[in-house]
Amino acid sequence: MASLSLTQIRSKNSVADFARHRRRTPWARPSRVGLKVFASSEARAEPDLSVTVNGLRMPNPFVIGSGPPGTNYTVMKRAFDEGWGAVIAKTVSLDAAKVINVTPRYARLRAGANGSTKGQIIGWENIELISDRPLETMLKEFKKLKEEYPDRILIASIMEEYDKAAWEELIDRVEQTGIDAIEINFSCPHGMPERKMGAAVGQDCALLEEVSGWINAKATVPVWAKMTPNITDITQPARVALTSGCEGISAINTIMSVMGINLDNLRPEPCVEGYSTPGGYSSKAVHPIALAKVMSIAKMMKSEFGDKDLSLSGIGGVETGGDAAEFILLGANTVQVCTGVMMHGYGLVKKLSDELKDFMKAHNFSSIEDFRGYLLYLRINFHEWQYIL
C-alpha cells in the first residue's frame, strides 16, 4: 500500500486514526535531519522560498530579528542588499533618554569545560536594552529605507510604558514613516519591567489584553506580538494577543539567565564595574526550547484560529537552513535571526537560503507551504502512545 500523503495525514481527525493506518502501512519516521518522503527522481524546478504573510510578500522567510542587527539605517540597508526577506528594526520608544545601555553587555557560553575560550559558541547572553538613539533619528531612517526599498518589508518593533496615549502616539509616528508592520515587544526579559514594559506585560495576560486592545484599535498595519518564553504556558499570552486583534505571533524572545561566574575574580558575567544583572539568553542552546514553544503556539492557533489569516514567526538559535526548516515544519511562516547575524554576518542569509532549498529538493517540496506545519500532525500527548505502540 502506498505511503500516507500530506493531504491524507491532514485529513485524519485523531491520533487513533493515524495509528491504525500506520500499523497497516510502512511509513518513514521523521528525524531531526528531515522527513523521509518518497520523491520522484525526475528533475524538479528550483524551490520557491517566497512567502506572503498577513498580506506582505517576502522573497524568502528569513527575517532580521529585532536587536543589534537592525540598530540603524546602515545595517538595515545592508540586510536588504544581502537579500533578507524582511527586517525588524531594534525596538524603539518615545523617550530614548530613559534608556541606558552599558558596556560590556554580552557574554558567551562555549562548548567544552567551564570558562573555555576556544570552543564553539553555543549560548549568548545580553543585558542590552531597547534603542538608546533618539526616536526622531530612527523614524527618519525608517522613512529613508522605505523610500529606497519600497518593495521590501520593514517592520518597526515598539515598546512603551503602561500609558495608552504613549502607545497611540508611538504607533502613529512609526506608521507615518511607511513601515509595513509593527512588532510589539511584550517579551524582553530585562526590558525595564519596573515601568511595565517588555516581559512585564507579556507575563500578565490581563495587562496584555488591555495594552493589545489599545494598540490594535490604533494600528492600521499588521501587528505581531512577540512572546516571552519566561512563562509556564506560552499559549496563554499568545491566545490573548490574537483575541485582542494581533495578526501575528513571534516566538521566542530570549530566556532569562545568568551566563556564569568568573571564578578568578568572583564576579558574574557580563560584568560592568563589578556589577551584573540577569539577562537574555539566545543562540544555538535555546533552539530546542524555542521549537517546543513554537509547536505549542502553532497547535493552539490551528485549533482555535484556523479560519483566520494569522501568522507565526519562529525565533531561537537559527544558524542553518535546517534550523529554519524545523521551525517551518512546526508551523512557522517566517523565521527570525538575530544572534546568528551577530555571529556570522549579514551574508548568512545566502547560506540559509541555499540550505533550505537543498532540504526542499531532497524532500520534493516546491514551496514553503508544502511543508509548513507538517509535523504538527505527529505531535501527541503521552496518554496517546497506546494508539501508536
Show pLDDT as tens, one digit a residue, over the chain (389 residues).
Answer: 344 444 444 444 444 444 444 333 333 334 434 444 444 445 568 999 999 999 999 999 999 999 999 999 999 999 999 999 999 999 999 998 787 777 788 888 888 755 556 788 898 888 888 988 999 999 999 999 999 999 999 999 999 999 999 999 999 999 999 999 999 999 888 767 767 788 888 899 999 999 999 999 999 999 999 999 999 999 999 999 999 999 999 999 999 999 989 888 898 899 888 888 898 899 999 999 999 999 999 999 999 998 899 999 999 999 999 999 999 999 999 999 999 999 999 999 999 999 999 999 999 999 999 999 999 987 777 777 777 66
The alpha carbon dihedral of 106, 112, 113, 116 has a sign of: negative
Tabulate helix, strand, coil % of the chain (nearest 5).
40, 20, 45
Establish if 340 belongs to a structural domain: yes
Q: Are residues 133 and 184 in the same domain?
A: yes
Q: Are residues 11 and 149 in the same domain?
A: no
Question: What is the C-alpha to C-alpha distance for residues 40 and 360, in angstroms, rounded to an integer?
Answer: 13
Task: Say how many C-beta atoms besides its own lie within 10 A of residue 135's C-beta.
Answer: 18
Q: Are residues 24 and 70 in the same domain?
A: no
The CATH number of whichever domain residue 267 belongs to comes to 3.20.20.70
Q: Are residues 159 and 13 in the same domain?
A: no
Establish if 50 belongs to a structural domain: no
pLDDT at res. 246:
99
pLDDT at res. 24:
33
Q: Which residue has the cell 558567551?
A: 108
Q: Are residues 14 and 126 in the same domain?
A: no
pLDDT at res. 354:
98
Catalytic residue, candidates 188, 205, 271, 338: 188
pLDDT at res. 10:
44
Q: Are residues 12 and 142 in the same domain?
A: no
Establish if 47 belongs to a structural domain: no
Domain range for residue 26?
Answer: 1-30
Q: Give the H or E element holding residue 58.
A: strand 56-58
Q: Is residue 205 annotated as a catalytic residue, yes or no?
A: no
Q: Are residues 85 and 4 in the same domain?
A: no
How many CA atoms within 13 Å lie on the side-chain side of 18? Answer: 23
Q: Is 370 exposed, middle or buried (0-12, 13-18, 19+ CB in 10 A)?
A: middle
Question: What is the C-alpha to C-alpha distance for residues 263 and 149, in angstroms, rounded to an integer?
Answer: 49
pLDDT at res. 358:
98
Establish if 43 belongs to a structural domain: no
15 phi and psi angles, rounded to 5 deg: -60, -35
| Counted domains in the chain | 2
pLDDT at res. 328:
99
Q: Are residues 285 and 381 in the same domain?
A: yes
Q: Are residues 11 and 102 in the same domain?
A: no
Q: Are residues 21 and 155 in the same domain?
A: no
Q: Are residues 10 and 143 in the same domain?
A: no
Establish if 224 belongs to a structural domain: yes
pLDDT at res. 221:
99
Establish if 152 belongs to a structural domain: yes
Number of helical H runs and strand E runs in the chain:
12, 16
Looking at the whole model, is its pTM more than 0.85?
yes
Q: Give the H or E element holding residue 229.
A: none
Q: Are residues 15 and 90 in the same domain?
A: no
Establish if 159 belongs to a structural domain: yes
Establish if 281 belongs to a structural domain: yes
